[in-house]
Amino acid sequence: MQNTGLLRRLAAIVYDALLNLAVWIIAALVFVAFNKGEAIETYQNLPLQVSLATISFAYFVGYWTRVGRTLGMQSWGLQLETSGGQPPSLTSATVRFFAALLSWVPLGLGFIWQLWDKDKLTWHDRISGTRLVHYPRKK
């Protein structure tokens, strides 16, 4: 077990973002189909916005609470744990999800904070009582 570096964390974020984007496109196609094939303005469509947010929430919180890692995290050998080494509860995973959104607001400072933190934790790690650890593959 090792502390997770910022670049490894960001690589997992990009991977998960691409997966989320693919599912968002499929969800948006459903809305376009119900709109008789006409384009939809996302910013004017509250049901679509809620659907996309729900998809992201279900993806992250679902994976975190069941196996402690998303598909992107699995690819980079990362695991989300509580201080006791267990996958997070539904409550702590939900707190982490919303705290991670807040970490992006000030230009990602909540993530970059890891570089100065004595325990290499981000804002959302601290707020949710979780941590991201790297388990290198055995050779």
pTM beyond cutoff 0.75: yes
Residue 60 domain-assigned?
A: yes
Residue 94 domain-assigned?
A: yes
Q: What does the block give as tokens for 18? A: 């691409």
Residue 89 domain-assigned?
A: yes
The predicted structure's pLDDT at residue 29: 93
pLDDT in tens, 12-36: 999 999 999 999 999 999 999 988 8
Rounded-to-integer distance, Cα 16 and Cα 39, Å:
26
- Is there a contact between 56 and 1 (Cβ–Cβ < 8 Å)? no
Residue 139 domain-assigned?
A: no
Residue 35 domain-assigned?
A: yes
Rounded-to-integer distance, Cα 4 and Cα 82, Å:
14
Angle at 113 between CA 7 and CA 22, to 5 degrees: 50
Residue 77 domain-assigned?
A: yes
pLDDT in tens, 46-73: 999 999 999 999 999 999 999 999 999 9
Confidence of residue 83 (pLDDT cuts 50, 70, 90): confident
pLDDT value at 10 more than 70: yes
Give the lowest-confidence range in 5-19, 93-107, 125-139: 125-139
Domain count, the chain: 1
Confidence of residue 1 (pLDDT cuts 50, 70, 90): low
Residue 124 domain-assigned?
A: yes
pLDDT value at 74 more than 70: yes
Q: What is the mean pLDDT of the chain?
A: 93
Please give the residue range of the domain that contains residue 10.
Answer: 2-134
75 Cβ neighbours under 8 A, 6+ residues apart: 12, 15
Residue 88 domain-assigned?
A: yes
